[in-house]
Amino acid sequence: MDKKIDRCRCSKVHFVHCADIHIGTDRFGEGVTERDFTDSFNHVVEFAIQQKVDFFLIAGDLFNKSRITPLHLSDAEEGLGILKRHGIPVIAIEGNHDNSPSYIERESWLSYLSTKQYLKLLKIRFNGQIPILKPWDDVDSIGAYVDINGIRIYGAGYLGATTGRRLELIKPYIEKDRFNIFILHSGLTGVLPEFGGATKEEIEVVKDVIDYMALGHIHQRYVLENWIFNPGSLENWRIEEAGYKEKGFFHVVIDPITGRIEPHFYQSKRRETHLKTILLPNFNAPKQATEYILNEIESWEIGKSSIIQLTLIGYVQFSPFVIEIEEIKDILYKRFSPIMVNVVNKLNESLPGVSSSRDKGSISREQIEKEEIKRIIQERGKFPGFEEQITEIVLRVKKMALAKEDNETILDVIHSFVP
């Protein structure tokens, strides 16, 4: 690779690439861990300042929702403002969470931050089948690309199902004989089973004109062929993501003469999170099960102010819904002083042919409804590993609709569950 970057520069070009910050995420509906996402972002900001990087990339989903609170906006302005005061330009695109869930054309809060010069929001707009690739305009705060230290940075945002076709249309308008970065918010099919997205072949359409493909959307780090880079989310957007091996940000160094890419990955600052599973033997009485669970907990080593999610699995000879979940949670709070505890009861679910219908006489109507919804979702097989979350959102949306909440609020709730 021998593309001109800036022959007059003696030093290397440094930048940070992060994505999926999700400021404003409320994982438990009580606001107790919202600040985690801002703290994680500020940690990356501090790193960028210490390293004196030339620019800072955000590959979508700065916010968790298109409709944010004043506090969430203030949190974003705080971190971005620090970068601005240190002379580090922030180049960003919108992710699917930043945009309106109703898909009505309107400006996002990133547009506002762009007009206030906290960041440069890049967008490639289309006139029919023709992409409009205009350079960044500081006056109008709009543009499809920006040049920094001889590097050209393009930004396309979230293109959804049209990603492959739109990349084909954009390619002829990209200047080849220079070092090009392309920021895109898109999943990649096959990386994680719960995430779809563009295929590798669709992304590779622009490989001969793009030197660094800066992706966001998938919440786990991955690198393909040293030109497709996805850092993962900074915090665990869903508690289950604590099982992902790596997530964080890239500090990338580019040689100004050869264009050689040196990516350095760093794990982000995240709240300590423990995913625990207890397999219960075939007990006949709830008391036996509870005592067994409490005995298992005694051997755990968990730090204070952490998040604990305990999943109960196995088959028992009684209705699993009579297990004293609140008692178990109380024990966990007293023993480990976590900030949040979540107990997921999956007893009698994992064995084929086993039905809890015999117990339905002692179960509430709400629990029966939840069981049936989850069964339907499992049968359709479209959300492997996320049946519990999808069930919860169906029930939550139903409750909101019965309460006659406005459509926009309901759409925001649905949108917040979309990876």
Which pLDDT value is given to residue 355?
Answer: 47
Which pLDDT value is given to residue 16?
Answer: 98
Which pLDDT value is given to residue 397?
Answer: 83
Task: Decide: residue 111, CB within 10 A, 0-12 exposed, 13-18 middle, 19+ buried.
Answer: middle
Which pLDDT value is given to residue 197?
Answer: 79
Instruction: Determine phi and psi for 141, rounding to 5 degrees.
Output: 55, 50
Which pLDDT value is given to residue 353?
Answer: 44
Q: What is the CA radius of gyration of the chain?
A: 24
d(CA 145, CA 135): 5
What's the token pair of residue 179? 């070092």
d(CA 404, CA 419): 26
Query: How many other C-beta atoms are found inside a 10 Å radius of the C-beta of residue 358?
Result: 8
Which pLDDT value is given to residue 382?
Answer: 64
**Whole-structure pTM value:** 0.81
d(CA 279, CA 346): 10
pLDDT one-digit tens code per residue, 198-232: 888 999 999 999 999 999 999 999 999 999 999 99
Which positions ≥6 away from 363 have C-beta within 8 Å?
A: 319, 321, 356, 371
CA atoms within 13 A on the CB side of 27: 24
| Residues of the chain scoring pLDDT < 70 | 1-10, 30, 100-106, 192-196, 350-368, 379-385, 403-409, 412-413, 415-419
How high does pLDDT run on average in the chain?
86
Q: Are 282 and 317 in contact (CB under 8 A)?
A: yes
Which pLDDT value is given to residue 45?
Answer: 98
